[in-house]
Amino acid sequence: MSTDLDAQPAAAAGTFALGGVLPVHRLGFGAMHLTGPGIWGPPKDPDEAVRVLRRVVELGVNFIDTADSYGPFVSEHMIRAALHPYPEHLVIATKAGMTRPGPGIFRPVGRPEYLRQQAELSLRHLEVDRIDLYQLHRIDPRVPLVDQVGELVLLQQEGKIRHIGLSQVTVEQLRRAREIATIVSVQNLYNLADRSDEDVLDYAERENIAFIPWYPIATGELAGPESPLAAMSAHRGATPAQLALAWLLRRSPVMLPIPGTSSVAHAEENVAAARVTLTDSEFEELAALA
């Protein structure tokens, strides 16, 4: 991977090797917002969505997170339209296990035959032979965990997915899933202002599992002029969004934030956070502020 930090600032975040074998820069991109309102249908500006994807890759991002349910399938289509044939080191993580029957509505469905169908569709929509990281979007409480994670193991054995990840889980659920499969990542809500899943993060760090914090800048709440980080931003020469992301990167070596945006300007701002290094006291001050 390139180490030219001027050309590829995302590399300044350092790398994390998923499953110990698949290195990615620790600042990724979340492709959920490349869809319409309510994560439903096409984006308002599809050309800008394509530009965002190409720009983040140009800036050294080589980990993109998406899901079958974003659109549904709109986000995966945008990724294929913008980036296929994919650059060699690009890792695309997708998910299944959450249906989207309408704008703003999500429902978990973890029946094994459904997960298999969605994996087959994601392979086709992304136009890949194998999905690098396949995440169970939510554990469906109506289906035994062994059936849900077990189906992902079968897909892995068949060569359709490479690595398995989980999303929005407790430590206990993560432990139980690890009795069934090798879990390389966990994607939970986590940001400076909401650190309720510290225990999951600490467990992931101990076990060298990637922790992918979704909502990393609290959907912009930590980014604007009203942000509690605005004052520090003014004298630090970094935007509030950059401070929020830099704090996450500093919090743990297994942290892999995936800020999402539909604008090239915000994408550039967010990736540049990889070059913001916080001192110990700035790290503590930010933690106390938010």
Residues with active-site annotation:
70
171: which 2 tokens? 């430590």
Distance in Å, CB of 216 to ligand NAP, minimum: 5
In the complex, which residue's CB is closest to ligand NAP? Answer: 30
Per the CB < 8 A criterion, the answer to whether 146 and 180 are in contact is yes
Per CB under 6 A, the segment of 26-34, 55-63, 141-149, 228-236 that binds ligand NAP is 26-34
Give the helix ranges, DSSP H, for the chain: 46-58, 74-83, 112-126, 145-157, 171-178, 198-207, 230-236, 240-251, 264-271, 280-289
Measured distance CA(245)–CA(257) in Å, rounded: 7
Nearest alpha-carbon partner for 49 in 260, 282, 195: 260
Which of 266, 274, 276, 290 is close enough to bind ligand NAP by CB under 6 A? 266
Distance in Å, CB of 66 to ligand NAP, minimum: 6
Q: Which amino acid is it at 243?
A: L
**Partners of 130 in the β-ladder:** none
Measured distance CA(24)–CA(91) in Å, rounded: 7
Residues 113-152 as x/- pattern, contact with ligand NAP by CB under 6 A: ----------------------------------------
Is the CB of 158 or the CB of 234 nearer to ligand NAP?
Answer: 234
Which of 2, 117, 182, 219 is close enough to bind ligand NAP by CB under 6 A? 219
Residues forming the site for ligand NAP (CB under 6 A): 30-33, 65, 167-168, 187, 214-220, 223, 241, 258-263, 266, 269-270
